[in-house]
Structure 1
Amino acid sequence: MSNKSKWFSTLTVTTVSLSVFLLSSVLWLISNFSNLNMTQIIFHLKVPLEGSDTSFMTSAIFNIIFPSAGAILFTYFLLRLFKKKNLKYSLLLKFKKRRKTITIFKLRYSTMVILLNVAAVLIFRYSFKIMDKQFHFKEFISVQFSDSNFIEENYVFSAGKLRFPDKKRNLIFLYLESMENTYSSIDEGGAFHENYMPELTEIAKSNISFSNNNQLGGNLGGVGTGWTMASMFAHSTGLPLNIPLEGNSMGSYSSFFPGAESLGDVLQSNGYKNYLMIGSEAAFGGRELFFRQHGDYELLDYNWAKKENKIPSDYRVWWGFEDQKLFSMAKEQLTEISKKEEPFNFTMLTVDTHHQDGYVCELCENKFSEQYANVIACSSRQVSDFIDWVAKQDFYENTTVVIVGDHLTMDSDFALDLPEGYSRTLYNAFINVPEDIVPENTLNRKFNSYDYYPSTLASLGVTIDGDRLALGTNLLSSEKTLYEVYGAEMYSELNQKSSFYDNEFLYPN
């Protein structure tokens, strides 16, 4: 084979395999995740993935790597075959005593190279068409070349704005994996005929819970709420987790948004000790960097549990250990932490309701036909039991509990047949807020994850001048949120590139 032929063969094999890799990746993402956007996909590609559920990695290998490898082998051997012998189909005709052979078609090596590259281009085109429909690819590319002043004009720094009470309240902040109000019954404001989360519904009704309607509801989502790290970042900083195409999403892998100020930063500077307890590895998705660098959180994760002999060294289910163990360990830690003089912020993240279909533990009942519904119901009971336990503890009198769903479920086949026009929202509840704090209105509010940042501080009795902080608004006040002022237009602005955002938070100095 000549050098020219080798070059064409290499190019063709590469083009075909890359096109198959892209298509396989897009189809895998669609089948395993919902509510993703390009920002979250790029962020995942830039941060550590260690500690992720092994079933996802296995699924990716079978559905992405294997087809791509198959495309390489198939293309390579096909070209080798045609290089040695052109494919020819002939038809033998008989005319009395004479015979004549007519060649119907003859496929040469050069023609096969052209056909394979054309096929690859068509696959690329089809893949990008799906990406644009599912992940708004064109919009993401176009906004990289725009520059919005929205963040600069609306961002409120905390300096001189916060006044903590003389007796600081403790905080238990509970992120519920993929917990949305959709799981409740239609009568309560959900989307199903049966209520899969009756205990959580009752908790919301019995305490302060903000809704976008007259029933059980919540925040409508938006930028920075579709994935756990993005959601945590938005809740904690009042900022979207916007990721530029160029450079590292975190400035460097040793620095996570160095210019951003988080809830943990504010609490630490006011004498709080921060803790994060999760049933997976903290390193996944950049969480360890974020929580260590913004509030110096003590990380109580899967690796910590093994090191402290909370679980056997070879124990691993789902993403690490299940919520049954998470709540048990949380009770132990809170009992010890509450004995210390310093106020605490104890943040938790559940995991059993992660897609696909959730994790069935020994506490789960087989009440519903779908596994995911049974796992949701089990999570609702466990959260309720945990809150009941907290309410009986001596430290509860001076402790606020905040519960939020981290994002809408990414289980692609669970919430398909919803009532027409139904808006999926994230769960929220503020428990044991100081008695003198009475929200003016909790119903028919338009808000998003950024508003939880100042609202959480306010629920601790912190006075916020102007009731605005970062891009968030204190929901416990009468101040309008940015969403109520600007409507959905704010999301269009936040999707755009912001030089102020990059220079102030992502790459300061």
Structure 2
Amino acid sequence: MSGRIPHVIRRVGAVVGRLSVYVLIWAGLALLMATAVIRFYWGEITVGQMLLNLVSVETDGGGGPIVWIGVLAIGVLPLLLTVGIAALWQHVRRRERRRRGHDVRPRRSQWVKRTVATALVGAVVVGGTTAFATTVGIGDYIAAGNSKYDLGDYYVEPSVTGAEHRRNLVLIYLESGEATLADDQLFEKDAFAPLKEVTEAADGWQSVADLQQTQGGGWTMAGLTSTQCGVPLKGVGSAAGNGALHELGGEDSYLGGVTCLGDVLDEHGYRSVFLGGANASFAAKDVFLGSHGYSEVKDLSDWRAAGEPEQSFRDDWGLSDGRLMAHAKDEVDELHAEAERTGQPFNLTVLTLDTHEPVHVYDYCTVDTQNVVTSVFFCSMTQVAGFVDHMQEKGYLDDTAVVIVGDHLKHMSAGDAFHEQLDHHDNRTVFNRIWVPGEDGNSTLRPRVDQLNMYPTILEAAGMTLQDRAAGLGVSAFAPDVPAGSAQAMAPEAYADLLGSRSARFYAEAWAGGDAAR
């Protein structure tokens, strides 16, 4: 009996050992596949971006096919490959035993095979872990936790000292609206030409020269929070112990401890409406808007309910920009009429969709370039330009500020276009145009600011007077100088460290709904 116990222990140990090896193989393969999917669709991302999107994915109108590709490539394929490897290994072992007449004595050839097998397993595990860590910036995430900076030390709660000149606001976000695509020396044609024609400086439109993307802000929700809250979007990991992940999973708060654009406008009597072609639940966009002053959020489900024909939709995301801008015209007509009748100003925010890769060619778009993406950008800008023309013709620009801005630079993932032109470009910037009624367009806005500064800039365009002309981490681009002690007054290296810091205290309070400025 005593002799059987060690034998059983050895057998159990062998089984556990083999299972552990197969688990490691599966984990390595899953990480390699996750790396491949992320790099193909998004390029290098951040830990915060990954976590925020994992808790709010949508198969309908939120990148649909990408979600299923991720499930199959990351969840199913590595499991099938691991099972196949296990089955092949067992087949080889059985064949070897039959060939040797069940002689299990160790031999040199067996030692070599085990060494090679161990090396291969190690290569898969180490390779997968390293590739994934590099792709999602785990090294930067760990380093950020050691930063001496915390955003809370520089965050400015917006203080409106005057709103007697408040005016209506139309805010248009251009999906992947990178100004570099206007360079017809790099590209087949100026993708922004239609929009530039209706927003000329000679007519009173202004712009921030060389508007920079916020550090870590290369995706839509980060673009929204940068320009509407004045803070980089991150910190779910820091706030995990404070209920933030639970709140993102379906509660009614998203960065509830931060005062954003919609909150300030709501305090001053605005009615805020958002229009987007995609599913607003993707990345919890609806939660963000609903918890920051927006009373209406119209998205994919609304356009379907309105009877839009199937040809108006793209399967992966949602409604075309052509139809979205048609709805935007109707919406601004209603909002402006109501504002005239009641005296209540409005904020209409619109987010385009056509230029999200892989692009879709609608019937209103003529492809006249070798690269289809260039033509789709041009066609999308034509639709936006038509909306601006509509406001001009209706006389709305007499009392309505308009801010048009890209949500982020164009993605440079493996599956996206323009790597040759953009990968090594030394000044990639975000497209923007600003209309303030009564301005002559000759004033010079502070150049080369980042998107965080757009938050107070938008508030001032809407007619608000801000203390120190500051909000969040930004200072209005209309201000020629920045206050001493502002984040914008920091040296470039220190500012980069501040934005890269994990700022656990600030984001824990921001996500938990506390006062993040304390």
* TM-score, normalising length: structure 2: 0.84
Amino acid at match of 2:303: A
Give the 3 Å change call, closer, same or farther, for CA 393–224 of structure 1 in structure 2. Answer: farther
Asked if 1:317 is matched to 2:326, the reply is no
1:155 CA drift (Å): 1.4
Corresponding position of 2:78? 68
1:470 CA drift (Å): 1.1
Give the 3 Å change call, closer, same or farther, for CA 344–310 of structure 1 in structure 2. Answer: farther
Corresponding position of 1:460? 462
Distance 1:87 1:442 in 2: 79
1:315 CA drift (Å): 6.4
Contact 2:170–2:402 (CA under 8 A) maintained in structure 1: yes
Q: For structure 1, which segment, 397-406 or 411-420, has the greater mean C-alpha deviation from structure 2 after superposition? A: 411-420
Q: For structure 1, which segment, 221-230 or 195-204, has the greater mean C-alpha deviation from structure 2 after superposition? A: 195-204
Give the 3 Å change call, closer, same or farther, for CA 265–421 of structure 1 in structure 2. Answer: same
Distance 1:320 1:472 in 2: 33
Corresponding position of 2:481? 479
Corresponding position of 1:414? 417
Amino acid at match of 1:275: V
1:508 CA drift (Å): 4.4
SS at match of 1:390: helix
Q: For structure 1, which segment, 129-138 or 11-20, has the greater mean C-alpha deviation from structure 2 after superposition? A: 129-138
Q: Aligned Cα RMSD in Å?
A: 2.9
Match of residue 237, structure 2, among 239, 245, 259: 245
1:312 CA drift (Å): 6.5
Match of residue 424, structure 1, among 428, 432, 436: 428
Equivalent residues, number: 480
| CA displacement, residues 92-125 of structure 1 (integer Å, 9 cap, x when unaligned) | xxxxxxxxxxx996437x964x654542332232
Q: For structure 1, which segment, 36-45 or 15-24, has the greater mean C-alpha deviation from structure 2 after superposition? A: 36-45
Distance 2:246 2:495 in 1: 25
Asked if 1:228 is matched to 2:220, the reply is yes
Amino acid at match of 2:377: I
Amino acid at match of 1:464: L
Corresponding position of 2:3? none
Corresponding position of 2:174? 176
Contact 1:42–1:243 (CA under 8 A) maintained in structure 2: no
Distance 2:470 2:505 in 1: 19
Corresponding position of 1:56? 66
1:466 CA drift (Å): 1.1
Give the 3 Å change call, closer, same or farther, for CA 245–120 of structure 1 in structure 2. Answer: farther
Distance 1:37 1:482 in 2: 22
Give the 3 Å change call, closer, same or farther, for CA 232–70 of structure 1 in structure 2. Answer: same
Asked if 1:373 is matched to 2:374, the reply is yes
Where in structure 2 are the equivalents of 1:28-47 lying within 5 Å?
28-34=37-43, 36-47=45-56
The structure that is helix-richer by fraction is 2
Give the 3 Å change call, closer, same or farther, for CA 421–336 of structure 1 in structure 2. Answer: closer
Distance 1:25 1:489 in 2: 33
Amino acid at match of 1:72: T
| CA displacement, residues 274-306 of structure 1 (integer Å, 9 cap, x when unaligned) | 111111111100111111111133011111222
Amino acid at match of 2:157: F
Distance 2:194 2:53 in 1: 34
Contact 1:277–1:348 (CA under 8 A) maintained in structure 2: yes
SS at match of 2:419: coil
Amino acid at match of 1:152: G
The percentage of aligned residue pairs carrying the same residue is: 21
Match of residue 192, structure 1, among 187, 191, 196: 187
* TM-score, normalising length: structure 1: 0.86
Where in structure 2 are the equivalents of 1:67-216 lying within 5 Å?
67-86=77-96, 106-107=109-110, 112=114, 115-131=116-132, 133-149=134-150, 151-159=151-159, 161-166=160-165, 168-186=166-184, 191-192=186-187, 194-203=189-198, 205-206=200-201, 207-212=205-210
Corresponding position of 1:306? 304
Contact 2:47–2:137 (CA under 8 A) maintained in structure 1: yes
Distance 1:165 1:319 in 2: 40
Contact 2:35–2:135 (CA under 8 A) maintained in structure 1: no
Contact 2:28–2:126 (CA under 8 A) maintained in structure 1: no
Structure 1 unaligned regions, length at least 5: 91-102, 213-218
Give the 3 Å change call, closer, same or farther, for CA 411–493 of structure 1 in structure 2. Answer: closer
Contact 2:169–2:346 (CA under 8 A) maintained in structure 1: yes
Distance 1:465 1:233 in 2: 21
Corresponding position of 1:495? 500
Match of residue 445, structure 2, among 425, 442, 445: 442
Contact 1:186–1:193 (CA under 8 A) maintained in structure 2: yes
Contact 1:87–1:106 (CA under 8 A) maintained in structure 2: no
Distance 2:99 2:312 in 1: 61
Distance 1:87 1:325 in 2: 68
